[in-house]
Amino acid sequence: MVVYEIAAQSFQDSNGDGQGDLAGLLQRIDYLTWLGVGAVWLTPIYNSPNHDFGYDIADFCSVDPRFGSLEDFDKLLLALHDSGIRLILDLVPNHTSDQHAWFGESRASRNNPKADWYLSAEAGANGGPPNNWLSRFGGSAWEWCEERRQFYYHSFLPSQPDLNWRNPEVREAIAATMRFWLERGVDGFRVDASAVLIKDDLLRDNPPDPEANDEKPPPQARRPVFTDDRPEAMRCIEYIREVLDQHDGKLLCGEVQGKTDRIGHFYGNSKPRLHLPLNFALLDSEWNAISLQATIDAYFNALPQGAWPDFVIGGHDKHRVASKVGQSQARVVAMLLMTIRGTPFLFAGDEIGSEQVPIPPDRVQDPFEKLVKGFDLGRDPERAPLRWDDTEGGGFTSGEPWLPLSRDRARNIKAHQGDRNSLLNLYRELIALRREEPCLLRGEYLPRRAQNDIFSFGRRMNDTEILVGLNISGEPRLWEWDGCGIRLLSTGPDCKQEKVAGSIHLKPNEGVIVKVIR
């Protein structure tokens, strides 16, 4: 199942207010079906003051009016299901907006019924923050609350207070929001910031990061050992999974922090945790055959027995892959993503090679960019609205788009649909091939030695063996292997299925898929 991430705000506007909405998304279901995606992951659509792209939620069981209504949501869900597409929602259990009624109550005094629903602490010795913990978005992670004469903790913005997951009432309240959506029929969740749900109860200071220097953003000055990836956070994920498992056939993906070697941990041991801890290793890897070989090997090695892998090549927090590797290699990325063992995740626009869109300073929306300047951390460039056609509003809106669209008007869905050699059509063919070849879906992964700038691997299931050779360079390369087979697909234009024997001459930036004949 291919998972396609959609940020509703940037996908399709239906009412000319410059922001995408649910009715707009509904109009585009035919496109999703045409492309062949199996599931949509929708970023937050809930009521929110929208200080952080909707990840600051004021009511978990609602739809923000800028996206539509609950009725629109139900219509959308029904239409997706009728088209055989599942819907995964973002679940943000770590924090709420400071506009949430829970926080309004909690902050009012030290002894109201919700007083312990958020993380609060007494001031430090000098009247300053309780300890040295830093917010990801810059500065201390503690904010003074005058009403309680205490500090409260925020992993992200001060307007995103962290919930207290040690409090069973909080757990139950989040479980109730999950049930609200599960009973409406959603197919699962992507858990936001799952690794930071619990912070050290002794409030111990984080140690300095020995690798920190002036080139690293200030929020990374300390190693977050007492705030991130605490063992108790795993209990919280297990709890979320238990709630999910009370409904059949639902999926739990999750944002996890840290290095690849920690990822196995998020699958769970005696108790299950996430089905799919999201793996961004490809995006973090250097783009050459040797590095890819090491990155992918480290990832597979980190998986526990029986764990199902996944690979992510785009997301609303990540710079566009096409900007990283270039348009020619974007085709190779598509082939790698759709042929390697694991569930593929892509972000709307990746299928046409969308690139980072330059955002003029007066149009910047992302708080990360505003607060931690000079480190290229802004996420607006990848969040720019999708271009459906080459008109001024890109087929996205008839109004003023909330972020500028790409000026590369030719790179749009309509044009790519009409060009059989486009990246979009390559994605479509690859997705179709995954469906036709069970070996590409479920076959085991067979590592091969990267050589001559070619990253290659095999997949095997029963008697079927498929080989994939990816030329990661801009020069022609000889891909040497023994045996013969049928070339199923190439990233190059107008590839015909044909018989190949032994070594294959790969064109610059070419990838090929070969089904071995025995």
Nearest to 505 by CA among 457, 452, 466: 452
Q: How many CB atoms lie within 10 A of CB 479?
A: 23
Contact predicate 398/12, CB 8 Å: no
* Residue nearer to ligand NOJ on the CB measure, 44 or 394: 44
Q: Is 21 in the site for ligand NOJ (CB under 6 A)?
A: no
* 251 sits in which H/E element: strand 251-254
In the complex, the smallest distance separating the C-beta of residue 205 from ligand NOJ, rounded to whole angstroms, is: 23
User: 435 in helix, strand or coil?
Assistant: helix
Least distance in Å: CB of 431 to ligand NOJ?
25
Judged by beta carbon, residue 116 or residue 317, the one nearer ligand NOJ is 317
What is the x/- site pattern for ligand NOJ, positions 436-475, by CB under 6 A? ----------------------------------------
H/E run at residue 151: strand 150-153
Within 297-316, the residues that bind ligand NOJ by CB under 6 A are 316
Q: Are 480 and 509 in contact (CB under 8 A)?
A: no
Q: How far is CA 59 from CA 75, 223, 240, in A?
A: 20, 33, 19
Site string for ligand NOJ, 127-166 (x = CB under 6 A): -----------------------------x----------
Q: Which of 339, 315, 255, 323 is nearest to 287 (CA)?
A: 323
Query: Residue 366 CB, nearest distance to ligand NOJ (Å)?
Result: 8
Q: How many residues bind ligand NOJ (CB under 6 A)?
A: 9
- Distance CA(248)–CA(420), nearest Å, equals 40
In the list 58, 186, 193, 338, the residue contacting ligand NOJ (rule: CB under 6 A) is 193
Please say if 351 is a catalytic residue: no
What is the three-class DSSP state of 144? strand
Nearer to ligand NOJ by Cβ, of 253 and 338: the residue is 253
Question: Is 255 an active-site residue?
Answer: yes
Shortest distance (Å) from residue 13 CB to ligand NOJ: 21
Of the candidates 5, 98, 187, 255, the residue annotated as catalytic is 255
User: Looking at 162, 187, 192, 310, which residue is catalytic?
Assistant: 192
- What is the distance between the alpha carbons of residues 306 and 161, in angstroms, rounded to a whole number? 37
**C-alpha–C-alpha distance, residues 298 and 261, integer Å:** 7
Which of 5, 192, 437, 453 touches ligand NOJ (CB under 6 A)? Answer: 192
Mask for 31-60, x = binds ligand NOJ (CB under 6 A): ---------------------xx-x-----
CB of 52 to ligand NOJ, least distance (A): 5
Contacts of 350 (CB under 8 A, 6+ apart): 313, 314, 320, 321, 322
For the annotated catalytic residues, the residue numbers are 192, 255
